[in-house]
Each structure stands twice: as structure tokens, then as C-alpha cells.
Homo-oligomer: A and B are copies of this chain.
Amino acid sequence: MKLRDIGEFGFINRIGKNCINNREKIITGIGDDAAVIPVDKDMLLLVTTDMLIENIHFKRESITGKELGHKSIAVNLSDIAAMGGIPENAFIAVGIPGNVDLDFLDGFYRGIKEICKRWKVNISGGDTTSSITDIVICVTVTGAVKKNEVLLRSGALPGDIIAVTGYLGDSGAGLRIILEKLPLKGNSEYLRNRHILPEPCLKEGRVLASSGFVTSMLDISDGLSSDIFRILEQSSCGARIFEEKIPLSVELVDYSKKKGKNPLEFALNGGEDYALLFTIKRDKVDELKSIYKREIGRDFFEIGEIAETEECKLISSSGREKQLKREGWDHFRK
């Protein structure tokens, strides 16, 4: 049997057994954006790790070293944001083939240092090694969150409102633009940069977590149509998502129109938007809206509601319902 027969998530389920050997030292392990580790009576430690491999996650010719450094850190900070946490320390392991220019590497570390400085994250360790042909990057970030503020994927309850912090689909369209080597101007450049330079929603995550009104949260890394199911499965519930409420940038809509594509396809299945997807106690939505607006200066977007059933339904503007299919990225099947 090969890996593609069981897929990435079948594989994760396969290995996820017998992983706990010291229950006192872990609260939530495999299966959330970051692991949650007890520290003291008030605080929790968060740990997350992400691997980026050349020609799988990026092409060297379509990203600068500095952009790659930024993105390597950003995707991990986004995981800390998704727990409501504050990032503290980053550990950077890199495998570097002999044909990499020192300029590219210097840029890579400049990108890392810039985003780490902005978010007050220390670069506290790592590993450097040679590799054969492809650059390999594995970043681990630790962070902290108060015990009574941590947001897991498992807290959604029927009736809760589902919301996201930002536009969806831009990154997926940006990836398409990169892969098709389309000229970078106007919308294309914006969309490309939304793929290459995601900014972690750390402030948003803190505001949402500290409000006490949010019941579950994650960051959209694989695509809404895939990631919503992570909340639904872990919270044992279903959802109704309203197509017309899914926030789309004018750039994405405009690009999609020109290309004869449906922008919703990008929004549902594109992945790597790194917006936060979260659920809110229904009677606290208005209060949270005003807190969020005051603190962040923008609105979040309500896109649906949690339902009792185990289905996830997508409802069109005309009121037609269809089952949302679990799509998004599977590393071992594509």
C-alpha cells in the first residue's frame, strides 16, 4: 500500500495513536493548530511546527529569499494566532543545497528577522545542514496564552455564528498566477503577494480570544472547504455557510471574471489564506463586533452558523442548499 491510497489525513489518523506517554505534560497534542502544554496555574505553552520544501511549497525562481523567510515564519505565527496566543521564540532548521547563493540566504534571514522583530519573536535556535537539491525549511514557534483564553477547534456549539477575519481565495488565485507565470501587474501582483507574504492575524487572534465570546478558532491553511470540517469534526456538529457572505476581494472578483473562473472556487478550495476562522456565541456577536472594530479598525465577516446536524451545507444566494464537499489540499493525493 502507498501513502496516496490513504491520503494525508488518513495517514495522520494512522499515526495519531499511542502518542501520549506523560499525560501531565500535554493538554492538546496532535490535531489542533498548536500543541497546548501546561506551564503553571494561569499560563499555557503553545508549540507549532511547519515544514516548507522547495518545489512542493515554493519555487525558488518565483520567490525572493526575503519573501521565503517571511513566509516561513508567518505560517507558524498564524498557528499561534489561531490559538489566541502570543508568539515568543522561533527555531529555524534549514537544509541548504550547494547551489544556493549566499545572497538568497542572506535575504532569507533578513525576511525572518524582519517579521520576528515586528512581532517581538526571538530567533532562539535551529539547525543548519546541507541538502541534495531542494531547500528545506522547518520552523518551530513557541508561544504563550492564558489558560482561560486558549481557543481550540473543539468548542463550537449549535447556534454559534461562523466568521472569518479576512478575504478568502486571494492566496489560491495568487498561487495560480505564480504557477502559470502570468505577468505581475495590478490585481495579479496583489494576489501574488497575498500568497507569498501572508501576515499572521496575531492581533485579531488576541482580541477574539480575550473577548470570551469565541468558542473555537483555527487558521485557514488548507482552504475553507477543508478547514471548516476540522472545527465540525472536533466539535461534533454541522454548519450552514452562506455563499454570498464569503468575503471576496475586488481584486479576486476582477481577476476571476477576466479568467472565466468562479472566485468562490478559490475561496473554498484555495488554501493558504491564513485568515482566522472562528465561531461566536450568537448572543455576543454584536458586542464582539464593536470590540473588534475598536481594537482592529475593521470588521470581521459572518459567513454562516453552526448546526446540530453533522452535515456542512453551502447555501446559494437563491436559497439553494448543497453539501459542502471536503476539498482543499491533501499532500499525499494531489
Which A residues form the contact surface with B (CB < 8 A)?
Answer: 1-6, 8, 11-12, 14-15, 18-22, 25-26, 29-30, 34-35, 37, 39-40, 45, 47-51, 53-57, 88-89, 91, 93-96, 98, 100-102, 105-106, 109, 113, 116-117, 119-134, 136, 138, 140, 142, 331-332, 334
Q: Would you list the 10 A-B pairs with minimal beta carbon distance, nearest first? A: A138-B138, A19-B123, A29-B124, A51-B93, A35-B124, A35-B125, A25-B88, A140-B140, A130-B331, A22-B120
- CB-based contact A136/B53 at 8 Å: yes
* A88-B21 Cα distance, complex, nearest whole Å: 9
In the complex, A136 Cα to B119 Cα: how many Å?
29
Give the interface centre of A6, A26, A47, A122 by most chain B CB atoms within 10 Å. Answer: A122
The interface residues of chain B lying within 8 Å CB-to-CB of A133 are 132-134
Q: Enumerate chain B residues within 8 angstroms of A121, measured Cβ to Cβ.
A: 21-22
With A4-B98, A132-B55 as contacts: A124 and B47 at CB distance below 8 Å = yes
Most B C-beta atoms less than 10 A away, residue of A29, A121, A130: A130
Closest residue of B by beta carbon distance from A5: B102
Distance A113 CA – B18 CA, assembled complex (angstroms): 7
Asked if A131 and B129 make an inter-chain contact with CB atoms under 8 angstroms apart, the answer reads: no
CA–CA, A39 to B89, complex, Å?
13
Do the beta carbons of A132 and B130 come within 8 Å of each other? no
Can you list 26 contacts pairing A with B, beta carbon distance less than 8 Å? A2-B102, A19-B113, A19-B122, A21-B121, A22-B120, A22-B122, A25-B89, A26-B122, A30-B125, A30-B126, A37-B89, A37-B124, A40-B40, A49-B91, A49-B126, A49-B140, A50-B127, A53-B131, A57-B129, A93-B138, A128-B331, A130-B332, A130-B334, A133-B134, A134-B134, A136-B138
Complex: chain B residue closest to A118, CB-CB:
B21
A120 to B305, CA, bound (A): 41
Which of these, B30, B53, B88, B113, contacts A95 with CB under 8 Å?
B53
With A21-B116, A132-B134 known, 10 other A-B pairs at CB within 8 A are A11-B105, A14-B106, A18-B113, A19-B124, A29-B124, A37-B88, A53-B130, A56-B129, A93-B138, A129-B331
- Interchain nearest-CB distance for A144 vs B (Å): 8
Contact, CB under 8 Å: A34 / B125: yes
Determine which of B12, B127, B136 lies in contact with A128 in the assembled complex, contact meaning CB atoms within 8 Å: B12
Give bound CA distance, A334 to B130, whole Å. 9
Contacts of A334 in B (CB 8 A): 130
Secondary structure of the A contact surface, majority rule:
mixed
Q: CA of A125 to CA of B49 in the docked complex: distance in angstroms?
A: 8
Chain B residues with CB under 8 A of A130: 53, 56, 331-332, 334
Nearest chain B residue, comparing its CB with the CB of A125: B35
| A5: chain B residues within 8 A (beta carbon) | 102
Which of the residues B8, B22, B120 comes within 8 Å of A21, measured between beta carbons?
Answer: B120
Contact of A96 with B332 in the complex, beta carbons under 8 Å: yes
A73 to chain B, nearest CB (A): 12
Q: Separation in Å of the A67 CB from the closest CB of chain B?
A: 17
* Cβ A2 vs Cβ B98 within 8 A: yes
